[in-house]
Structure 1
């Protein structure tokens, strides 16, 4: 059974922030992540087959931007699920955007990424990156039923990132993290390595 980011078990994970700074990725200078994640993304990149590379869409995100995404998506969900109460909407929302208290992006511990060919063209992954569960009819889940090409590309993505110690959030094939609470729960670590980070503070 998939554990969502809204699950109390995620928030119950203690955080012992190791102080790793936010740094720009050398191959995506506009994206900033914690040093530990940056090192592992380089390792994962080296594990990709020839002619394939990562395209990093997003890394660290401010708490303000995270809350804006939560609010926008929750409003969309009210249209899809008019009978859902706030508790149900909170859970539904967490399939696509993390609650602020546990958000991996806010900690600088996550990236949204996909694969590209040697010309920089996105490989087919079954859905566009950042497609919501409603937009993709559930195809955004990593293990969703997709065609052979998309499954092969998702497997290539996962193989490289798992080998470097990252974990996937199962409802989003593009979301991978290291050092956050979800990573700690998934790997049975005693605590998370990273809590919320502000770009001007941990830089």
Structure 2
């Protein structure tokens, strides 16, 4: 089906409330033991751009790792896209140090611009775009599990499509359904809305759930996925890269 025809058939992105973090943290985790794998192994139409490493964020790694089930679901999603459209993976598994840096940096920026916010309000505003850093085996930050992934779409030349905001912009316009609620859209906003719909429905068809405040953030197998997908339990708990040091310790222990 031609891209323009397909875009006209896509339904609106549904609206969902922000997650209740206290509730989703109670979802049991039965880790299935899947390994972390590098997305750079994936063939076209998947490409990888480790955004945080390119931005020089402390502790960021120059690769996007995800659990094996996420890898395969992403590849299937990318292959289902219309001809000439690809999927860019921007971030996956995240070291705890990076999660802490992102949380602290955003919280400081919000406090600078809104110094009158209470502690509870500041936490809620920060959580809108960055979850609280946690290595708790019962309630890890989504990106520390390898089940959360940040993605966008690109054209045949690999250039990102217009999604209305940039990746990681902490703005109301970054909410997935933002353009669905505007009475009138400019031609550029109309195009961005259609691109978001294409990304959302492509990912949803492969079992991913979306974080409502971030059009780029999708989950598969973690507690956010269990929460929004109404699953009995999560498949992924905290994960660590299989370093050569850890491997030797297991072999020689």
TM-score (norm 2): 0.74
Bigger share in helix? 2
Q: Which consecutive aligned stretches of 4+ in structure 1 deviate over 2 angstroms post-superposition?
A: 26-30, 200-203
Equivalent-residue separation in structure 1 for 2:144 and 2:123 (angstroms):
18
Cα distance, 1:163 vs structure 2: 0.7
Aligned to 2:24: 10
Cα distance, 1:188 vs structure 2: 1.2
Equivalent-residue separation in structure 1 for 2:88 and 2:66 (angstroms):
15
CA RMSD of aligned residues (A): 1.8
Instruction: Determine if contact 2:221/2:235 at 8 Å carries over to the other structure.
Output: yes
Instruction: Determine if contact 2:18/2:213 at 8 Å carries over to the other structure.
Output: no
Aligned to 1:77: 110
Cα distance, 1:152 vs structure 2: 0.8
Aligned to 2:221: 179
Q: How do 1:34-183 residues align onto structure 2 when only pairs under 5 Å count?
A: 34-101=67-134, 102-133=140-171, 138-145=172-179, 147-183=189-225
Equivalent-residue separation in structure 1 for 2:123 and 2:242 (angstroms):
30
Secondary structure of 1:112's counterpart equals strand
Contiguous gaps of at least 5 residues in structure 1: none
Cα distance, 1:77 vs structure 2: 1.1
Contiguous gaps of at least 5 residues in structure 2: 1-15, 49-62, 135-139, 180-184, 248-253
Equivalent-residue separation in structure 1 for 2:224 and 2:168 (angstroms):
19
Cα distance, 1:3 vs structure 2: 2.5
Bigger share in strand? 1
Equivalent-residue separation in structure 2 for 1:85 and 1:12 (angstroms):
26
Equivalent-residue separation in structure 2 for 1:31 and 1:40 (angstroms):
15
TM-score (norm 1): 0.92
| Structure whose CA Rg is larger | 2
Larger relative contact order (Cα-Cα within 8 Å, sequence gap ≥ 6): 1
